Amino acid sequence: MNAHVTTKAPEQYVPIPEVKCVGIIGSGQMGSGIAHVIALAGYEVRMNDLAKERVEQALALIDRNLTRQVSRGAIKELDAKAALKRMSYAATYADLGDCDLVIEAATEDEAVKRKIFAALCPSLKPTAMVASNTSSISITRLAASTDRPEQFIGMHFMNPVPVMQLVELIRGIATEEKTFAMARRFAESLGKTIAVSEDFPAFIVNRILLPMINEAIYTLYEGVGTVDAIDKSMRLGANHPMGPLELADFIGLDTCLSVMQVLYEGLADSKYRPCPLLVKYVEAGWLGRKAKRGFYDYRGEKPVPTR
């Protein structure tokens, strides 16, 4: 995604005293981006995933992205090196035991997330706060799978995290005010802007964005326009920086489908029915950029529409 990296200098970040160490569960696109901004803001970061290789790959990606920011003059080389030194691998949940905050950034699957929280919480100190980066799933239900629903909150970072300014904060029914206040201060210490959402399916951003993407896929499915025509129309006709099908590939078609399913099941309205073509692409394993194929084929020098 072509966008400007935040120009806020790292020395302007002031870490909040209540948080010194942050655990991240999941080192994929979102987890690595969240780790990047948290380490750059001065916090210690411990990254956990199913395999050490995944964390090593994430750290290598973060290193490249920090180097890119240095080359653009967005941050200083010393700050980039310091951020990398603040990040480490956590082999088990026990290695997150002294973290003040743990952010879950695993796949957008409620069963997976609930299993993580049930296994994680016994390893945490009583004062630790837990957050989910879910983009659509009920915070109240996820909190109920923990031993600390009062200290649980939704912190939905936008993708790509080092670039996008917004964090959605979502309280569950049991979330205490002090948890919400600490989460707000923490997000703002990262240089982010906050939008507060009620705990409804897909919150604010994806409640609006994903049905638009789904409608673009229906437009393709029904033969109204080609991939190129649809994306060109929204870029040049609506001044969107990226066409909806290109954006779907960037997000991941599996994630798009998961959010649409949450909306469809949670709101019981046929307007949220996932497009059959989206389902077909996911079943084929054509998940977008990360799979090298989606609505575009990324295996060559230049992306080529697949329809």
- Among residues 210, 206, 164, the alpha carbon closest in space to that of 187 is found at 164
Catalytic residue check, 206 = yes
Signed CA dihedral, 268, 270, 276, 281: sign only = negative
Catalytic residue among 206, 214, 246, 258: 206
- DSSP of 29-97, one letter per residue? HHHHHHHHHHHHTT-EEEEE-SSHHHHHHHHHHHHHHHHHHHHTTSS-HHHHHHHHHTEEE--SGGGGT
Q: Which of 44, 104, 108, 168 is catalytic?
A: 168
Catalytic position from the list 156, 197, 214, 258: 156
Of residues 135, 136, 159, 197, which has the active-site annotation?
135
Q: Which of 16, 79, 80, 22 is nearest to 46 (CA)?
A: 22
Tell me if residue 135 is catalytic.
yes
240 is annotated as an active-site residue: no
Q: Is 168 a catalytic residue?
A: yes
The residues, ordered by sequence, that sit 6+ positions from 174 with a Cβ below 8 Å of its Cβ are 140, 143, 149, 150, 152
Which helix (H) or strand (E) covers residue 101, if one does? strand 101-104
Residues with catalytic annotation?
Answer: 135, 156, 168, 206
